[in-house]
Amino acid sequence: MKILKFSSVASILLLLLNLSLSWGAPDPVYETFLQCFTKQTNSTDDKLSSIVYNQESKSFSSVLRAYIRNARFNSSSTPKPTVIITPLEESHVQAAVICAKQVNFQLKIRSGGHDYEGLSYKSENPFFILDMFNIRNVDIDMEEETAWVGAGATLGEVYYKISEKSNVHGFPAGVCPTVGVGGHFSGAGYGTMLRKFGLSTDNVVDAKIVDVQGRILDRKGMGEDLFWAIRGGGGASFGVVLSYKLKLVSVPQTVTVFKVERLVEENATEIAYKWQFVAPATDNNLFMRMLLQPTTKNKKTTAKITVIALYLGLKDNLMSLLDKEFPELGLKKEGCMEMRWVDSVLWWSSFDLNTTKPDALLDRKVDWADFVKRKSDYVQQPIPKFSLNLIWKTMTELGKVGLVFNPYGGRMSEIPATETPFPHRDGNLFKVQYSITWEKPDPELEKNYTSQVSDLYSFMTPFVSKNPRGAYLNYRDLDIGMNHNGKDSYEEGKVYGAKYFNGNFDRLVKVKTMVDPENFFRTEQSIPVLPK
Ligand SMILES: Cc1cc2nc3c(=O)[nH]c(=O)nc-3n(C[C@H](O)[C@H](O)[C@H](O)COP(=O)(O)OP(=O)(O)OC[C@H]3O[C@@H](n4cnc5c(N)ncnc54)[C@H](O)[C@@H]3O)c2cc1C
Ligand SMILES: *[C@@H]1O[C@H](CO)[C@@H](O)[C@H](O)[C@H]1NC(C)=O
Ligand SMILES: *[C@@H]1O[C@H](CO)[C@@H](O)[C@H](O)[C@H]1NC(C)=O
Ligand SMILES: *[C@@H]1O[C@H](CO)[C@@H](O)[C@H](O)[C@H]1NC(C)=O
Ligand SMILES: *[C@@H]1O[C@H](CO)[C@@H](O)[C@H](O)[C@H]1NC(C)=O
Ligand SMILES: *[C@@H]1O[C@H](CO)[C@@H](O)[C@H](O)[C@H]1NC(C)=O
């Protein structure tokens, strides 16, 4: 009787224990982390609830979803972090690093969340997210023509804040205003002023980082090697970038934009062929992106090109430039629009200028995303006309995948390939982005679409760079290699590392080995340490 009683009490206890474990009993990892974090930051309990979230927190899922920018990784099967930390100040970042290290958890760092493979918010291993969206001051010094920008600021915020101070200053960075400073600048960053001013990182003059020991270091403190590495080598391998200091650039009071569309039946092939000679060689003030897409016209499948351009100057000068260099494009004066630089930023991100003011750039569009797959390539020799025709054919057969050609040349060819970790400089005519976007979750469709992208990528092999076949770090693509951060970490890293960084990979490995020898800052495509 007694024994029976005891065992039933025990089983009730066990049951309760089980229930409480599955119903959100505090996870020991979370508890240990929280204790450490509280101690490091001197935080009070009520303050902590808006900085550290575990899976049981009411707002866990809304905080996680806020900066998911590829809806493919917004599913119940996407691995979730054990803890999300959303620092309000720099000391919270220091504490997060120190305490994540103490419990030996992988720390994924997220600024704007635009990583195409979701590396800033998912992992195959148990992990935390350090979410930087609150660290987003933009402090502009017009005397010095510089700005300190927090890692969690968006490009839209940077552009808007600059435009509040001046309409003859700008910054050369990405087209999409919701992209985050932390990932974009640490991974190089480019936009419509690439040919005039180079990459975003070419215009970064200082930075603040939290290193693996939890110290805050500026350029002087971290030294030139680490400062070099975080201007294109990807922040996530080296530490947590708190902020970058940018040198602003001069833009004219009035700039000009245009967009021209041509079907294959309207000489698209001739225009696309000629584009390869003109776009990378023309006036540095002119950036002409070209999209190549399958389309239908009168129920017939065909392909089209769209040339979208920014000219840092007036319409009349642009017209005479293109009349001379690119008459095949058939640009009409009525097709050109003059505007302020900040309005060209809105125009490029497809806002309706009649109804939109620059403050639209401040919209963070939280918890919103399309389903996407992207890849990248570099073209160093013009693609012949007959091959362009084969591209149209392949594209229309595949159905949906498109290409974006971004011209290089200009300033990009003047900067040595070793100046920053980004190696794709002189000798590259343009970068190719493979692009497919859809709106609904559907595993069958996803399989079809991602194979369209890899089929077109295979088809393009003869036309793009080889040994290694180059890729752009900020167009993250796990197909080109992955790291499990085990004993083969260096060998695995060399595979994608050579593609992203070419000859700069070795120096990145040296810096990594120097600043983070235990490989605490690691991702599926981080820089490995030298084998011991
Ligand atoms: C819609 C869209 C448009 C884009 N347009 C352009 C474009 O015009 N030009 C261009 O160059 N690229 C473009 N990109 C790519 C973009 O530059 C990269 O995805 C970039 O890395 C995004 O930065 P993020 O902070 O938003 O991303 P996140 O996903 O937050 O971070 C990307 C990577 O950087 C790491 N990281 C983030 N913050 C920090 C930090 N503070 N310290 C250390 N490491 C950090 C992350 O861990 C991750 O590995 C675009 C992407 C999207 C989705
Ligand atoms: C926490 O408090 C201690 C003791 O008062 C102090 O030395 C330390 O600087 C504080 N840390 C932070 C991050 O405020
Ligand atoms: C195509 O090119 C031909 C010859 O160069 C030209 O006569 C014709 O007008 C062009 N067609 C279009 C639609 O631009
Ligand atoms: C914006 O305004 C211009 C000039 O008034 C007009 O031609 C154009 O159609 C308008 N665009 C939209 C999208 O309403
Ligand atoms: C994630 O999915 C939910 C529905 O399950 C949706 O409401 C939300 O907008 C999605 N967010 C993103 C970033 O895709
Ligand atoms: C994708 O689906 C379409 C239509 O169902 C089909 O014709 C095509 O072959 C598929 N493509 C791939 C790469 O699977």
DSSP state letters, 11-39:
HHHHHHHHHHHHTTPPPHHHHHHHHHHHH
Contact (CB, 8 A) for 508 and 237:
yes
Task: Check whether 421 has a pLDDT greater than 90.
Answer: yes
Category of 145 on φ-ψ map: left (φ > 0), alpha (ψ -120 to 50) or beta: left
Distance 271 CA to ligand 4 centre (A): 28
Ligand 3 centroid, distance to 297 Cα (angstroms): 18
pLDDT at 26: 65
- pLDDT at position 7 over 60: no
Q: Residue 156: what are its φ and ψ, rounded to 5°?
A: -60, -40
Q: Which residue type, as a one-letter code, is found at position 213?
A: Q
**Which of 352, 354, 355, 356 best tests ligand 4's pocket when mutated (most atoms within 8 Å of CB)?**
354
Judge: domain 255-338+370-468, CATH 3.40.462.20. Answer: yes
**Which residue among 74, 366, 438 has the greatest number of ligand 5 atoms within 8 angstroms of its CB, and so is best to mutate?**
74
The matching CATH number, chosen from 3.40.50.300, 3.30.465.10, 3.30.230.10, 3.40.50.2300, for 138-250 is: 3.30.465.10
Average pLDDT of the chain to the nearest whole number: 95
Q: Which of 475, 490, 496, 500 is catalytic?
A: 475
Give the SS3 label for residue 482: coil
Q: Distance between CA atoms of 213 and 356, rounded to whole angstroms? A: 45
Q: Which ligand is nearest to the CA of 43?
A: 2
Ligand 5 binding residues, C-beta < 6 A: 65, 68, 71, 74, 367-369
* Residue 321 reports pLDDT greater than 90: yes
Segment 490-494 shows an average pLDDT of 98
Give the confidence band of 46 by pLDDT, cuts at 50, 70, 90.
confident
For residue 132, report the distance from its CA to the centre of ligand 5, in Å.
20
Taking residues 300-322, report their average pLDDT: 98
C-alpha distances out from residue 112 to 68, 81, 259, 294, Å: 9, 17, 28, 31
User: Counting ligands in written order, which one lies closest to the CA of residue 345?
Assistant: 1
pLDDT over 70 for what percent of the chain?
Answer: 95
* Ligand 2 contact via 42 beta carbon (within 6 Å): yes
Residue nearest to atom 11 of ligand 6 (CA): 448
Residue length, the chain?
Answer: 532
Q: How confident is the model at residue 249 (pLDDT cuts 50, 70, 90)?
A: very high
**How far away, in angstroms, is 369 Cα from ligand 6 center?**
24
Nearest ligand atom owner, CA of 334: 4
Instruction: State the pairing for strand pair 216-217/204-210.
Output: antiparallel
Residue 12 has pLDDT above 70, yes or no: no
Do 112 and 178 touch, CB atoms closer than 8 A?
yes
Judge if the beta carbon of residue 44 lies within 6 A of ligand 2: no
Region of 197 please: left (phi>0), alpha (psi -120 to 50) or beta: alpha
8 pLDDT tier (thresholds 50, 70, 90): low
Considering the entire predicted model, what is its pTM? 0.95
pLDDT of 532: 82
Pocket test for ligand 2, best of 36, 42, 93 (most atoms within 8 A of CB): 42
420 pLDDT band, cuts 50/70/90, is very high
Task: Please say if the pLDDT value at position 217 is more than 90.
Answer: yes
The C-alpha atoms of residue 107 and residue 97 are separated, in whole angstroms, by 8
Distance CA 419, CA 432 (A): 22
The residue nearest atom 1 of ligand 1, judged by CA position, is 176
Task: Please tell me the distance from the alpha carbon of residue 513 to that of residue 210, in angstroms, as a whole number.
Answer: 16
Q: What fold, for 26-131?
A: 3.30.43
Cis check for the bond before 468: say yes or no (omega within 30 of 0).
Answer: yes
* Residues in contact with ligand 1 (CB, 6 Å cut-off): 69, 108-116, 119-120, 132, 151, 174-176, 179-180, 182-184, 186-187, 189-191, 234-236, 240-241, 474, 523
The per-residue pLDDT for 25 is 57
Is 475 labeled as catalytic in the residue annotation? Answer: yes
The CA 213 to ligand 2 mean position distance, Å, reads 17
- The three-point CA angle 510-513-519 to 5° equals 140
Q: What is the pLDDT of residue 4?
A: 45
Domain spans, the chain? 26-131, 138-250, 255-338+370-468
Reported confidence tier of residue 79, pLDDT bands at 50, 70, 90: very high
* CA–centroid distance, residue 159 to ligand 6 (Å): 41
User: Which residues have C-beta atoms less than 6 Å from ligand 6?
Assistant: 399, 448, 451-452, 455
Q: How many whole angstroms from 433 Cα to the centroid of ligand 5?
A: 26
